[in-house]
Structure formats: C-alpha cells, structure tokens
C-alpha cells in the first residue's frame, strides 16, 4: 500500500511517498502554498499520479502535546483534503520533524537552497517513516 505524507508549513508543503510495499519513505517534492483549494487540488493530483491508497498529514502539536493555532489550521486543511480524496486521510504527530530534517540536511551538506529535496519534503519523509515504523509497514 502506497502512502503519501504531508508536512504542512505556512509557505510550503513537504511531500513524501512510501515505496509500494509501504515500508520505506522518501522525499517526493515541495509544493509552494497558494490557496487551500489549489493546495488540495495539487495533492489530489499527486494521489492519483502515484496511486496512493492513504494520505498521512503531520499535525504540529505543541511541545506539551496540546492543539495550538497551527494544529487547528492543519486540522481544518485535513478536513478539506479528506472531503476531496477517495482514500483515507490520517493525522500523525510531527513534533520535532523539521528540526530533525534540518539536522539531516546539515549533516549531508545540503542547506535549504542547495538542490535535492527541500527540508519540508525531508520532514514529510521523517513523518512517514515514523508512521511506517510504528505500524510495522502498511499492509494491503
């Protein structure tokens, strides 16, 4: 089962994709945020293009595990996305993933602006890999 993961930022949306077996995550792309309708349409197109069977959205709980303003914004977007998709949409705790992604990119010698996947797509891949690892891979 193929899973698409999203890291929703204020300016960009990081996108990651699992392998067909639902075991490994990889950064796919970064979308520039436009409007909610255009963002949803772009994600719907990616789901169709990659034959995705589930979408995972990172939710930015506060460090205390509470739902703050950012998490509420992500919840609203997730509801709109779920209404537009024929596949299940699930939220996943994304605390610390951007920091982890920035560290991975720093260690690999790639900054935010140097080719390769952006930090947002790497963060989405971390979210997805944590999900896949916690579930033992997604089974068809």
> pLDDT tens digits, residue range 8-46?
988 999 999 999 999 999 999 999 999 999 999 999 999
Architecture of the 3-135 domain: 2-Layer Sandwich (3.30)
Domain range list for the chain: 3-135
Write down the pTM of the prediction.
Answer: 0.84
Nearest to 104, CA basis, from 32, 3, 16: 16
Question: How would you class 14 by CB atoms within 10 Å of its CB: exposed for 0-12, middle for 13-18, buried for 19 or more?
Answer: buried
pLDDT attached to residue 101:
64
Model pLDDT, residue 43? 98
Per-residue confidence (pLDDT) for residue 100, from 0 to 100: 67
- Token look-up 């010698």 returns 109
Distance, in Å, from the CA atom of 135 to the CA atom of 133, rounded to the nearest integer, reads: 6
Segment 108-133, tens digit of pLDDT: 666 555 444 588 888 899 999 989 98
């Amino acid at each position: 089962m193929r899973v698409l993961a999203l890291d929703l930022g204020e300016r960009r949306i990081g996108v990651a994709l699992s392998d067909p077996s639902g075991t490994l995550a990889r950064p796919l792309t970064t979308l520039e945020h436009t409007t909610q309708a255009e963002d949803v349409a772009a994600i719907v197109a990616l789901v169709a293009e990659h034959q995705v069977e589930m979408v995972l959205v990172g939710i930015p709980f506060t460090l205390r595990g509470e739902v703050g303003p950012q998490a509420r914004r992500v919840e609203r977007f997730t509801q709109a996305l779920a209404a537009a998709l024929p596949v299940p949409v699930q939220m996943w705790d994304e605390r610390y993933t951007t920091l982890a992604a920035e560290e991975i990119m720093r260690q690999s010698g790639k900054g935010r602006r140097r080719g390769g996947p952006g930090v947002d797509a790497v963060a989405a891949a971390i979210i997805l890999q944590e999900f896949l690892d916690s579930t033992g891979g997604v089974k068809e």
